[in-house]
Chains A and B, each alone.
Chain A
């Protein structure tokens, strides 16, 4: 039902559209098959996406990415509408199925992460809109028998002098035309939507309870399962007695799966009671020996020895010995849970010849491949229905597909359609954490206190080792462990530098967590910068400005944050400022935090001024929300959040002991965007990274106490 219509491999599918215009970007099927056979690691060369213009003039945009709060449900349609010139109110949004057509343009698999959606889709989604517009205009020109040059497009109509035709009236005719082989995109000066504050399109369903998240999936015959999982990482089921569990009203089945024992019931509450009544004996294995206090001490010992080399220039040890002064500091951060508001869940309906999976996921391709392997079905018989995600933060982008593979296993073992619902405790204790890290930083300075030698040893688990992404590691270096150190702008002019990495393995599963390695590298770098400034008796801002000479973008961001925060101007008694700058995901962020300490020595952050250079800000309203949210997400671990493990058991379980930021602790965040012509960067994560250090530096300015361990505690 499809035909190739251009050399560039754009296909137009009438099967999907009926009497409407469908713009589809596909690579030819044969190429798809070849690329699939070579595995999801290899990126497809051609962009894919589509939109549908219906006879009622509605424009439906298919999202290749998951909406998890970041606002892509609005931003991607903005890109289409900018070029299509449709009426904004005619936009409808759908999530795409899992298919190669929707592979991430840069990463070669369908996924959402790395603060990369807007940057990677900026051309593709605009091009889709431009192609559709051009076909509609040509259809109108044929109808009116006029030259396309005398036509213009306005809010969903093609206009010819006094006459006009709606997109809907032209959709059928446009559908019959060959798509253009190339289109010209508007210059920035003509943008009507891009760069303007645009309100979210998903608000109506999200303020009425209609928005469907994975946990809201319901259909006749669907059961709910709760799984008893290993009490320590890597433990396996030795035996279990389900007698009492089966006696619980509503419990239908108890089945063993690779991750544990699943209680399948008619509803969640029954499944939960059933699990409480289960008696499972576990083979604990080496996971029972994990102790985070001991682990941190072992990291400390490792840090005194050089690891795999991530960056080397000159002879650091010689330069250190010649320095007029040496500063040494260690910084550490704990394991963190993502703790998205929606506890993990996944719904699976497995039939003889197909498998349907409803899930809020960031990793469709990986999840689909995992399910195909487990069920023995071909990839195209595994249908991933991506729902709204009740937060992702990286936890729903798991190379191990843990919550999906488990649900498929439960469906297989039980033979019924089933939703596996994790409890909050399951979610907190289920692993795949931001890893614990320790940095040892030794800096030799000149007579004025500026660095001559920088020796930096990073210790912490690799996110990539042991996953299908391990091939991304080079010479033993997982870049995500050292990002923000080895590429730090502060180190550019330092004569001798050595950044090395130890990546010890532990039984604790780890995963990317909003802003990934930058969460700890920014803390170490920006704390050390502050310590150096203090030792040099130089103002922390002036010290950084001096080191960043020759980095105009960084300078501009830092200066803007300082200016808006009133850096150097007096504050009310009992309050102090701290600053931090960090670049990640192609964007540069500087933050000035204002901090006070209450009678119980609790740190209060009253105000955060944040300056950002992310290149083009496509939707400033969404950008502001992402920056506010990122700072909030970072402040939880700055002040409270930490996981501890004793005898292999994660000690924290719910929001009572895994403490996150609440509304009464939310600072007033002011967001300032540097007008920039630089290449577009991401904005979902970069503002998370610097807040730890900005607050720690403010605490030092206020109290004279240097806190080098997260969460920051004065008492």
Chain B
């Protein structure tokens, strides 16, 4: 099976029904995308399919087709995506385990809503659990990322 992951075509042979998450992690070694719940409850596994955020833990790899998969590793080559820069400026991360998913969710939000309100952020990001409780800084950093994007 062919997949386009982070702008590269890759060949994988997963068993039928294998979620995209495990193809990325176990077959392609892209471990930036995390397993948190397996049932689309926590958002740690968020990746983009053609720019849309999806939960890779419940996305059968067979359903991906020709859509482009973007993972945290493919978001930017050098951590210069506005969301990554904002995350650093606001000192968001704690344990960091959920952050790939948070960042992918935030990047997708900003791609469709350039200047989100707190309510927009709540709606887009409530599906991403952070047990360290970095939510307040995540909210702040999404606003900061929006500003960085606008000034680019």
Contacts and interface: CB of A to CB of B under 8 A. Distances in A.
Interface of A: 67-71, 199-200, 202-213, 215-216, 218, 224, 249-250, 267-270, 339-343, 388-393, 421, 423-424, 621, 625, 628-633, 654-656, 660-664, 666, 668-669
Contacts of A209: 30-33, 71-73, 100
B49 to A, nearest CB: 17
A208 B135 contact: no
Contacts of A208: 32, 72-73, 75, 79, 84
B42 interface: yes
A606 B79 CA distance: 33
B93 A341 contact: no
A68 B79 contact: no
Interface of B: 14-15, 18-19, 22, 25-27, 29-39, 41-42, 44, 71-73, 75, 79, 84, 87-88, 91-100, 103, 121-123, 125-139
Contacts of B93: 69, 200, 202-203, 206-207
A341 B97 contact: yes
Given A69-B93, A663-B130, 12 more contacts: A200-B93, A202-B96, A208-B84, A224-B26, A269-B18, A341-B129, A388-B95, A424-B36, A629-B94, A661-B135, A663-B122, A666-B136
Contacts, number: 181
A90 to B, nearest CB: 19
Contact of A268 (B25, B37, B128, B134): B25
A610 to B, nearest CB: 12
A633 B95 CA distance: 14
Candidate in A203, A207, A209, A664 with the most chain B CB atoms within 10 angstroms = A207
Contacts of B41: 654-656
Given A207-B79, A270-B15, A632-B133, A199 B34 contact: no
B14 to A, nearest CB: 8
B95 A68 contact: yes
Contacts of B94: 69-71, 625, 629
B129 to A, nearest CB: 6
The 9 closest A-B pairs by CB, nearest first: A209-B32, A632-B133, A390-B97, A69-B95, A206-B96, A69-B94, A629-B133, A209-B72, A666-B135
B126 A203 contact: no
A630 B136 CA distance: 12
Contacts of B29: 218
A341 B98 contact: yes
Contacts of A342: 34, 36, 95, 97
Nearest to A392: B95
A432 to B, nearest CB: 16
B32 A210 contact: yes
A216 B96 contact: no
Contacts of B87: 203, 207
Contacts of A212: 31
Contacts of A668: 136
Nearest to B133: A632
Contacts of A660: 129, 131
Given A341-B36, A663-B121, A669 B99 contact: no
